[in-house]
Amino acid sequence: MASIKDVARRAGVAPSTVSLVLNNTGYVSEKTREKVEKAMKELDYMPNELARNLYRNKTNIIGIIIPHIDHPFFSTFVKYTEKFLYELGYKTMICGTVNRDHVEKEFLELLRRQVMDGIIMGAHTLDVEEYQKINRPLVAIDRYIDANIPIISSDHHKGGVLAANKLISNGCKKVVQIKGATIVNTPAHEYHQSFRDILEKASIEVHDIEMGINCFEPDDFKKVADELFSQYPDVDAILGADLAILACLQKARQLGYEVPGNLKLIAYDGTYMTTMNETIMTSVVQPIEQLAQEAANAIVSLIDGKVIEKQHLILDVELREGQTTI
């Protein structure tokens, strides 16, 4: 296996010049750089990544912590974030936290020990103190953790307003919204509040069904759909996350409801799940690709020692018309 000395000998330069080329530090003329790169290619030289990272005090690895990799929102977010980070020269380590009690602390320990350069955090953990203790690059996705940790989220207030106005225009009178666990400190709760505020001002009846923390399995959504129709058989509109609304659509058909005839449905997230069914769901669409782009840019900026100007970056949402409203 070729060494730096072998490359230096082949290129006719000092070993320190090869190191400068490998680490992209210091001045090396273009002609010399080409000679070194040519020698590396001829000798099939593979840099010692670990040694180079120790020298640079960087690993070029960023962790992404999410609740559940199978969830359409988080899987799409990871797909795009991984792509954008790769384009910025970073690799990723993915951590799903549901039903894994200690994995978050293990990931944070890797960051503390500088095995990773930074973490993008989108988990629904309650133990935010562990994140607050670490003076290392962190970016939060749709989570309030600490005033000093940048957060990127969608305009959930606007999302709730869009959904409410759509149901008002559809003449709905008894609405149920399926909420995530309110104990989790997230901006996403804002869409439920603005949704309720607008409907109540229009004298429309609004009821809430709250799911438990970290309920992301298909059976969790089937259970909440069963509960909803059992408790509110005269419901005429439902708002909830994509998988919850998909479960409600399936249950409504079993029970003989006509969608969008006597039951209107609006999904919140607008992932690929809302367009794969034979019935295209009306959706409030979060800009997941843009969320991923901004998260990647923010964490790399922090790693590079730059200051994030906006501690809370809020991205626009839109209402996409489908076949579950009129």
pLDDT at position 129: 79
In whole angstroms, what is the distance from residue 71 CA to residue 252 CA? 22
**Phi, psi at 109, each rounded to 5°:** -65, -35
**Phi, psi at 201, each rounded to 5°:** -65, -25
**Phi, psi at 84, each rounded to 5°:** -70, -40
Q: Is the pLDDT of residue 219 over 60?
A: yes
Decide: helix, strand or coil at residue 90: coil
In whole angstroms, what is the distance from residue 211 CA to residue 180 CA? 5
242-293 confidence digits (pLDDT tens): 999 999 999 999 999 999 999 999 999 999 999 988 899 999 999 999 999 9
Span 82-110, mean pLDDT? Answer: 84
Q: What's the CA angle centered on 269, arms 265 and 275, to 5 degrees?
A: 65
8-46 confidence digits (pLDDT tens): 999 999 989 988 888 777 788 999 999 999 998 898 887
Q: Is the pLDDT of residue 111 over 80?
A: no
233 vs 125, more confident: 233
Span 156-180, mean pLDDT? Answer: 97
What is the CA 254 to chain-centroid distance, rounded?
A: 33
Question: What value does the mean pLDDT of the chain take?
Answer: 91
pLDDT at position 233: 97
Q: Taking a C-beta distance cutoff of 8 angstroms, is the pair 202, 237 a contact? A: no
* DSSP strand pairing (312-315 vs 151-154): parallel
Q: Which two tokens stand for residue 206?
A: 């609004």
185 vs 194, more confident: 194
In whole angstroms, what is the distance from residue 143 CA to residue 150 CA? 10
pLDDT at position 69: 87
* DSSP strand pairing (283-285 vs 318-320): antiparallel
If you search the block for the tokens 């003076």, which residue do you land on?
A: 135
Cis-peptide into 260, omega within 30 deg: yes
pLDDT at position 56: 57
pLDDT at position 13: 94
Cα 126 to Cα 63, 107, 198, distances in angstroms: 19, 16, 30
Q: Is the pLDDT of residue 99 over 80?
A: no
Q: Is the pLDDT of residue 54 over 60?
A: no
Output the pTM of the full model: 0.82
In whole angstroms, what is the distance from residue 267 CA to residue 125 CA? 24
CA pseudo-torsion sign 228, 232, 236, 239:
negative
214 vs 223, more confident: 223
Q: Which domains does the chain have, with CATH numbers?
A: 4-56 (1.10.260.40), 61-154+289-316 (3.40.50.2300), 156-286 (3.40.50.2300)
Q: DSSP letters of 246-291?
A: HHHHHHHHHHT--TTTT-EEEEEE--THHHHSSSPPPEEEP-HHHH
Determine which of 44-53, 111-120, 260-269 has the lowest per-residue pLDDT on average: 44-53
**Phi, psi at 50, each rounded to 5°:** -65, -45
| pLDDT category of residue 57 using cuts at 50, 70 and 90 | low
User: What is the percent of the chain where pLDDT is above 90?
Assistant: 67
Residue type, 250: Q
